[in-house]
Amino acid sequence: QEQLVESGGGLVQAGGSLRLSCAARIAINWFRWYRQAPGKERESVAAITSGGTTNYLDSVKGRFTISRDNAKNTVYLQMNNLKPDDTGIYYCNAQGYSSASNYWGQGTQVTVSS
């Protein structure tokens, strides 16, 4: 049984937009989005706490927005003005209110063409 379900990836041209979603089955403290480009290590893109405090990778500030709907246990990543360097597999990570409750989504491919 999957604990997180991701959706929203796709293929877009540079300058386009995508919105990623990640739905959890339990209440979540921290949500975080990671991405991994071909030949590169995984990096943290954005994070949000239960109270709505956010953090962003410097290269996506002003272009990406992370938000959450606590009633649905869901996190979103709105990605605007996408660049080819944003290409990669995007993974949702969720930390619940117990240390044992940490889950990963299946990943969703984002491809930005030049």
Q: What is the mean pLDDT of the chain?
A: 96
pLDDT higher than 80, residue 104: yes
- How high is the pLDDT of residue 96? 95
**Helix/strand/coil (H, E, C) string of 18-80?**
EEEEEEECCCCCEEEEEEECCCCCCEEEEEECCCCCEEECHHHCCCEEEEEEHHHCEEEEEEC
Rounded Cα gap, residues 83 and 14, in angstroms: 5
pLDDT exceeds cutoff 90 at 2:
no
The answer to whether 31 touches 92, Cβ cutoff 8 Å, is yes
- Tokens at residue 6, please? 């991701």
- Residue-wise pLDDT for 31-80, tens only, equals 999 999 999 999 999 999 999 999 999 999 999 999 999 999 999 999 99
